[in-house]
Structure 1
Amino acid sequence: MAIGDQIARLREARGWKRPELARLMGTSTQQIERLEKGQRKINEDWIARAAAALEVEPSLLMTDDPAPIIPTQNAQPFKYDGPSLERMAENLPIYGSALGSEKYIDGEAIEQTMLNSGDVVGYLKRPVILNGRTDVYGLWVQGHSMDPVFCAGSTIIAEMKRPPRIGDDVVVYLRPDGHDDDGERARAVLVKRLVKRSASFVELQQYSPGITFRLDMAEILRIDRIMTLGDLLS
């Protein structure tokens, strides 16, 4: 039996439609259809994601045995009458990033991060409060300029829709230089704290070394707000 057939059979055994499995795997309904019909090559990544979503061992997706592989239930599910409990899906994208060359402003070295938002390098577990939101994403922090608040290698979650307030930590998207500026793509981002904002400039702060500096608004594509733990738990 093909892997796609096993995925379809397991999905149907759980009473799921394709959109439900797509949500848990962090992909589209169209991709699930292609996987199940054998129209897309199923590599190790797809097998791992499908197995995690279906809560089975990856080897069960690669078996040729068409016999049912869903354990027979010998107990009734407990009915919970309290607040809704939802399983966190691992589908919050992490964009590719790397430590970039320093940006010098008034002779001071400002640490910046090179970004490739077209490259999804992994997925985070999505807090239930963010279900259905397409304006949120993750980044791995590069460098040490925001120690000890955001250490190198830690993960941040940013949102695009809610405007940042003074005192918020932010991801500042810088416009590309010269002819590469199409008004949409960023060459690099700064992970800093927003100190001041006006129609003509923003004032930002980094912690290590401690520097407060200004950027002209003409250099900035957009500013996204970094979500706090309180945002994700409220």
Structure 2
Amino acid sequence: METIGSRIKHARNARQLTQKQVADHLGIKRVSVTQWEGDTTTPDLERIPALAGILDVSVEWLLEANGAPPQANPTTRTKGFKPEITKGQELVRPHKSLPLYAAARGGDGHVIVTFEAIEYLKMPTILEGVRGGYGLLITGESMSPAYRPGDMALVNPNLPPQRDTDVVLYHTPPGDAGDTEAIIKRLDGLNDREWTLEQYQPPKIFKEFRADWPVCHRVVGKYNSR
């Protein structure tokens, strides 16, 4: 299982799902799943969290084969049987678990964060005891090489803004569910009116009004996808 296509096929068979069931869950055509499994094409990064969810595997295993592969269910599939897919938020959450949220690309280097956990992970030490701590799956190249697509930022929403730290700024206060516009940048400076921000690809230092981006969450660590 050296390719993502072979891992998708293995996990799908282990869960006893058809290509059509996977495609229907993702809102795509079945041929797209066929092409993924044949390594003709690869899934868009934005689809990886949902794909990992339906296949019941971690994002890390799907992208990089980190961890043990899913085991095939020995139960013989009944003809016409369609297994029910349980949504992530309905699963039992482990004690002190870390919610992982996905981000899709928006315009002008922004991202759209969906505050509905795609996965629950073991709580990292740096966020133990932190109220509301979460992980954010990175998309886009604007902060590369510090953060590459597929990396997970570890976020403490309770720390105050501080210069020379990485931050997530929100256009509107994040809620328990729904989509929120955000930017992930380096905080070079701040005053009562503005944030001074830095990105790496392409290199740029710019300002944003705090009235437009009133919520600042500090990034305190990350998990590499590689």
Unpaired runs of 5+ residues, structure 2, are: 1-52, 58-70, 74-93
Root mean square deviation of aligned Cα: 3.1
Counterparts of 2:121 and 2:134, CA distance in 1: 9
Secondary structure of the residue aligned to 2:214 is strand
- TM-score, normalization: structure 1? 0.51
- Contact residue 205 and residue 211 of structure 1 kept, 8 A: yes
Offset at 1:127?
Answer: 1.6
Is the 2:166–2:187 contact (alpha carbons within 8 Å) kept by the matching residues of 1? yes
Partner secondary structure for residue 220 of structure 1: coil
Question: Counterparts of 1:95-134 in structure 2 under 5 Å?
Answer: 95-102=101-108, 111-117=109-115, 119-134=116-131
Whether 1:153 and 2:157 are equivalent positions in the alignment is: no
- Work out the CA distance in 2 between the residues paired with 1:113 and 1:194: 17
Structure 1 residues 6-155: aligned runs within 5 Å: 91-102=97-108, 111-117=109-115, 119-155=116-152
Write out per-residue CA displacement over residues 139-185 of structure 1, whole angstroms, 9 at most, x where no aligned residue.
1111000000001111111111111310000001113xxxxxxx665
Tell me the distance in 2 between the aligned counterparts of 1:184 and 1:191: 14
Give, in angstroms, the shift of residue 91 of structure 1: 1.9
1:187 counterpart = 2:180:
yes
Q: Which has the larger radius of gyration?
A: 1
Listed one character per residue, the Cα deviations across residues 124-144 of structure 1 (whole Å, up to 9, x for unaligned) are 221245333332100111100
Contact 1:197 1:203 in 2 (8 A): yes
Partner residue in 1 for 2:166:
169
Residue type of the partner of 1:200? R
Q: Is the 8 A contact 1:174 1:188 kept in 2?
A: yes
Query: For 1:228, what is the secondary structure of its paired residue?
Result: strand
- Between the aligned partners of 2:160 and 2:72, the Cα distance in structure 1 is 42
Count residues in correspondence.
135
**Do the aligned partners of 1:112 and 1:190 also contact (CA within 8 Å) in 2?**
yes
State the distance in 1 between where 2:72 and 2:97 align.
19
Cα distance in structure 2, aligned partners of 1:189 and 1:92 = 20
Q: Say whether the 8 Å CA contact 2:111–2:181 is kept in structure 1.
A: yes
Match of 2:16 in 1: none
For 1:113 and 1:148, how far apart are their aligned partners in 2? 18
Alpha-carbon contact 2:102-2:138 (below 8 Å) kept: no
| Counterpart residue identity of residue 107, structure 2 | S
Deviation sequence 1:69-125 (CA, Å, 0-9, x none): xxxxxxxxxxxxxxxxxxx968200113211122xxxxxxxx1111111x1111222
User: TM-score normalized by structure 2?
Assistant: 0.52
Contact 2:142 2:199 in 1 (8 A): yes
